[in-house]
């Protein structure tokens, strides 16, 4: 290797996958009873982005403590690198100096504006006494000109093969043409962004649970995925989602092609009168994603019991990209790579709900774990540190 090419490699390898962006609130819009959309802008966002659609891209938002500016995360990154170094330095700051770090999905990114803009939808969750987490408290009072720090993908790394991935995108359907998207309100921004990116040849179902009918949003998609909103009202969190998935994906069953789909869930309120789950609103009249048996009438065998996850002590986060070799070898189709099968599921939200659906789909239905992503975005009764 010549000295010139060696220096070029060193420069390329030094490109960090993530960067800090000091942005200001440009607009605040209420897009539902419990959703506050905050638009951030700043010239620094010219350096934000990935190679392709953002899909379910996660970013970190540093919420400043009351009356205090955000810490200079960019300076911490320069001093401690993009890995745990800067994060440990941030944790070492005094609480009223460091503020709070929370994870959010980018709802939209307009990179080509004169000053680029990012939309982030905050779920406003407050207890009966009016108290809420730092993000909800901040978002409810946010006004144009307020400043925060975002930590997200460095667009320079998108063109750099040695920089690695920012790790913020999990949606990876591969060759699947039939999908299942499931999430509570914390996953609504990600599911909506994914739906907007899907091409016309993709079908399936999307189930979105929100607390109030006024949180139901219009979603535009070129796909034929049926979109069902579930307003839970006084029901337990996740109850309607669990019911919808168990009705759509039957036991025994194997999800494959559209001609093997069964009708949608019974009793739903839909936008065009199609039956479905109680309390649901459905975008169109397609059939559901489940099949009572595999093609040819042979029922699929149940799968192995998935490993137990203590959701009170650890994060439930299992995606095809992160499965260990021993798990891959124990799947129903060990010789097939992730993304090579016709069905893919993406499930996110409260960890107990996700864990129950993980057990049902993997153990009871027999879904190949290489074709489904399970993500516990949050845990009821437990605050998020970062």
DSSP per position, 340-380: -SSEEEEEEEEHHHHHHHHHIIIIII---GGGEEEEEEEBT
Structure tokens at 202: 């993709």
The percentage of residues in the chain with a pLDDT greater than 70, rounded to a whole number, is: 77
Report whether pLDDT(267) > 70: no
CA 78-45-22 angle, 5° bins: 55
- Contacts with 256 (C-beta within 8 Å, 6 or more apart), sequence order: 178, 291, 294, 295, 342, 343
- C-alpha span between 345 and 351 (Å, rounded): 16
Structure tokens at 39: 């638009």
Tell me how far the alpha carbon of residue 210 is from its chain's centroid. Answer: 15
Look at the domain 178-378 and name its fold: Rossmann fold (3.40.50)
Strand partners, 119: 39, 108
- C-alpha span between 209 and 347 (Å, rounded): 12
User: What is the band of 332 on the pLDDT scale with cuts at 50, 70, 90?
Assistant: confident
- In this prediction, residues 172-196 reach a mean pLDDT of 96
How do the domains of the chain map onto residue ranges?
12-158, 178-378
- C-alpha span between 241 and 225 (Å, rounded): 17
- In this prediction, residues 243-251 reach a mean pLDDT of 89
| Cβ proximity of 193 and 106 under 8 Å | yes
- C-alpha span between 64 and 100 (Å, rounded): 7
Average model confidence (pLDDT) for the chain?
A: 81
| Cβ proximity of 123 and 138 under 8 Å | no
- C-alpha span between 360 and 344 (Å, rounded): 15
Report whether pLDDT(172) > 90: yes
Count the neighbouring beta carbons within 10 Å of the beta carbon of residue 65.
Answer: 17
Going by C-alpha positions, the residue among 105, 186, 219 that lies closest to residue 153 is: 105
Look at the domain 12-158 and name its fold: Elongation Factor Tu (Ef-tu); domain 3 (2.40.30)
User: What is the band of 292 on the pLDDT scale with cuts at 50, 70, 90?
Assistant: very low
């Amino acid at each position: 290797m010549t000295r010139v090419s060696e220096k070029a490699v060193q420069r390329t390898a030094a490109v960090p996958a993530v960067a800090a962006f000091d942005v200001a609130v440009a607009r605040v819009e209420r897009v539902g009873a419990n959703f506050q959309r905050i638009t951030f802008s700043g010239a620094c966002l010219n350096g934000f982005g990935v190679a392709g659609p953002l899909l379910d891209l996660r970013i970190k938002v540093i919420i400043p403590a009351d009356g205090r500016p955000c810490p200079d995360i960019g300076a911490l990154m320069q001093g401690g690198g993009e890995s745990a170094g800067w994060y440990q330095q941030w944790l070492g700051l005094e609480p009223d100096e460091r503020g709070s770090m929370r994870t959010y999905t980018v709802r939209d990114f307009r990179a080509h504006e004169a000053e680029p803009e990012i939309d982030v939808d905050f779920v406003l969750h407050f207890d009966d006494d009016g108290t809420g987490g730092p993000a909800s408290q901040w978002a409810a009072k946010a006004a144009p000109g307020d400043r925060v720090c975002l930590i997200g993908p460095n667009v320079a790394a998108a063109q750099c093969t040695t920089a690695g991935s920012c790790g913020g995108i999990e949606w990876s359907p591969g060759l699947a043409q039939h999908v299942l998207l499931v999430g509570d309100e914390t996953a609504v921004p990600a599911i909506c962004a994914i739906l907007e990116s899907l091409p016309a040849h993709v079908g399936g179902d999307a189930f979105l649970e929100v607390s109030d009918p006024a949180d139901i949003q219009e979603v535009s998609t070129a796909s034929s995925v049926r979109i069902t909103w579930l307003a839970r009202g006084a029901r337990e969190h996740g109850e309607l989602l669990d019911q919808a998935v168990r009705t759509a994906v039957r036991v025994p069953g194997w999800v494959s092609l559209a001609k093997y789909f069964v009708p949608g869930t019974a009793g739903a309120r839909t936008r065009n009168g199609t039956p479905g789950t109680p309390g649901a609103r459905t975008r169109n009249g397609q059939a559901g994603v489940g099949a009572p048996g595999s093609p040819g009438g042979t029922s699929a065998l149940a799968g192995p019991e998935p490993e137990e996850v203590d959701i009170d002590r650890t994060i439930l986060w299992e995606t095809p990209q992160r499965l260990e070799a021993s798990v891959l070898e124990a799947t129903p189709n060990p010789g097939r790579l992730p993304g090579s099968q016709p069905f893919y599921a993406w499930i996110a939200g409260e960890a107990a709900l996700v864990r129950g659906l993980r057990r049902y789909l993997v153990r009871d239905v027999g879904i190949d774990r290489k074709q489904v992503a399970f993500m516990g975005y949050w845990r009821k009764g437990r605050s998020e540190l970062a």
